[in-house]
Structure 1
């Protein structure tokens, strides 16, 4: 079942095309990352699906229905930097959040503070919180009303490594508790470690979408060479499992599915074709390289 279906969404700001016909689906229970460099349209897209902005073209469905007050009550959002009163406690800040948003009730505040591991600090002033604690409090505010979905824009932005780790673990725990989470990020490492699914944007255009393990596949690369690299290049076109063969910097590179590179088999195959190798090295293709390929073509 799809929690969210986005269909051909476009949005422009004057001559700038922020989104260009973006379409994808978010499965129920997913931690779905909207990934892309700064300026790729991530925040604009999230703002549209929570009705902060209106799309120029296209539409979207929440729970197979058009957006409405009833569907919006099932969605908790965090699109901006946490904005709380510094001189008030966490509990009193969430009372104000509840009063303004109309989501949930005061009796839920202790529950959401427990979820984000701030219950013991509920009476502490906001000004005494670390950046990670402030972000967790903002997520607690989004959890008021027991939403089925959380929409988070760059939830680890500006945090130190400890704060980033805290938010990552919180997101995983909220997913296990039954929430579908949609989060924007420009950090590949964050998406790789947290998300189950991803959509990659570049300058408002959707490059690819799917399960993280499928989209950001970490291929094996084998570098080889011989006295005649052109002949080597030709015979490797028929090597079983080859996804790509190129000649680069005087070496032939074979790209294979992750975990399938067998150097002894490659060497034996080339020898059987009358070519003796003088160089053979296995390299792992980093996920960063895959992301770079997608966003820089």
Structure 2
């Protein structure tokens, strides 16, 4: 079942086309990453699906229905810079969020402050918080009422490595409990570690979308090694099906069209030609490498 369906969304600011007919679907239970360089349309996209901005054309629906106040109660969001009253404590700021959104209660406020590790500073003024702590409070506000869907714009912004790891673990934990999470991020490594699906934007155009597995794999890469690397090079010079070969210091990588590589066939071929392999692995490109391939074309 699709949680969100986006169809041909377009948005312009004067002469700038922020979104150029973007369409995709987000399956229920996914951790969906929206990636793109600065100015690619990520925040504009999130603002539209949260009813903060109006699209020039196109449509979107939550669970097959148009957005409504009732549906919005099932969506927690963090959009751009955390915005709280500087002279109020975390608890009092979240009470205001609760009264506006209608999500959560006193027990929920306490629970989310524990989740984002701000409970010990719950009575401190917002103005005394570091940037990372302010970001944690914004995530706490999004979690009020245990919403089914979370929409997070750069959720690890301003966090140190420990804080990034904690938010990553929180996202994974929420996903395991059945939440659908939509997050925009420029931290490719974090998206690769937590997201199940991804959409990549470039200057308002959707370059690709789908499961992380499908987006990453545009070819098969088999990496092998043997005691006599020169002999291995010679044996593999005419290996059928390989589109290219990369020679490294201790291994050789053979590139194949997606879905055609066979580790078993490679091992058998080398053995039949007098080579006992010491190492054999089918590798995947990292999201960072694939991202730059897609956005630099």
TM-score normalised by the shorter chain: which range applies?
A: 0.7 to 0.9
CA displacement, residues 75-121 of structure 1 (integer Å, 9 cap, x when unaligned)? 11100211223332211111122234444344531132233333333
Does structure 1 residue 113 correspond to structure 2 residue 108? no
After TM superposition, which residue ranges in structure 1, 4 or more long, deviate above 4 angstroms? 246-249, 257-269, 281-285
In the alignment, the residues of structure 2 paired with residue 247 and residue 177 of structure 1 have an alpha-carbon distance, to the nearest angstrom, of: 44
Is 21-30 or 253-262 further displaced after alignment?
A: 253-262
Hey, what does 2:221 align to over in structure 1? Answer: 220
CA displacement, residues 220-271 of structure 1 (integer Å, 9 cap, x when unaligned)? 2569x99xx9xx98x55x43xx4xx14899xx974136985576556579x7
Is 84-93 or 214-223 further displaced after alignment?
A: 214-223
Q: Which runs of 5+ in 1 are unaligned?
A: 273-280
Hey, what does 1:86 align to over in structure 2? Answer: 86
Query: Would the aligned equivalents of 1:4 and 1:63 in 2 still touch at CA under 8 Å?
Result: yes
Query: Would the aligned equivalents of 1:10 and 1:21 in 2 still touch at CA under 8 Å?
Result: yes
Hey, what does 2:47 align to over in structure 1? Answer: 47
In the alignment, the residues of structure 2 paired with residue 185 and residue 266 of structure 1 have an alpha-carbon distance, to the nearest angstrom, of: 43
Hey, what does 1:59 align to over in structure 2? Answer: 59
CA displacement, residues 28-70 of structure 1 (integer Å, 9 cap, x when unaligned)? 1111101111111111110110011111111011011011111
In the alignment, the residues of structure 2 paired with residue 61 and residue 123 of structure 1 have an alpha-carbon distance, to the nearest angstrom, of: 39
* Residues 15, 117 of structure 1: alpha-carbon distance in 2 compared, 3 angstrom cutoff: same
Superposed, 1:127-166 pairs within 5 Å as 127-166=127-166
Query: Would the aligned equivalents of 2:2 and 2:27 in 1 still touch at CA under 8 Å?
Result: yes
Does structure 1 residue 13 correspond to structure 2 residue 29? no
In the alignment, the residues of structure 2 paired with residue 86 and residue 16 of structure 1 have an alpha-carbon distance, to the nearest angstrom, of: 34
Is 189-198 or 119-128 further displaced after alignment?
A: 119-128
* Residues 112, 283 of structure 1: alpha-carbon distance in 2 compared, 3 angstrom cutoff: closer
Shift of 1:10: 1.3
* Residues 156, 266 of structure 1: alpha-carbon distance in 2 compared, 3 angstrom cutoff: farther
Hey, what does 2:173 align to over in structure 1? Answer: 173
Shift of 1:286: 3.9
Query: Would the aligned equivalents of 2:36 and 2:200 in 1 still touch at CA under 8 Å?
Result: yes
Hey, what does 1:276 align to over in structure 2? Answer: none
Hey, what does 1:275 align to over in structure 2? Answer: none
Q: Secondary structure at the match of 1:65?
A: coil
Shift of 1:178: 2.6
Cα RMSD after superposing both structures: 3.5
* TM-score when normalising by structure 1: 0.80
Shift of 1:141: 0.8
Q: Secondary structure at the match of 2:123?
A: coil
* Residues 192, 248 of structure 1: alpha-carbon distance in 2 compared, 3 angstrom cutoff: closer
* Residues 220, 247 of structure 1: alpha-carbon distance in 2 compared, 3 angstrom cutoff: closer
Hey, what does 1:188 align to over in structure 2? Answer: 188
Shift of 1:219: 4.2
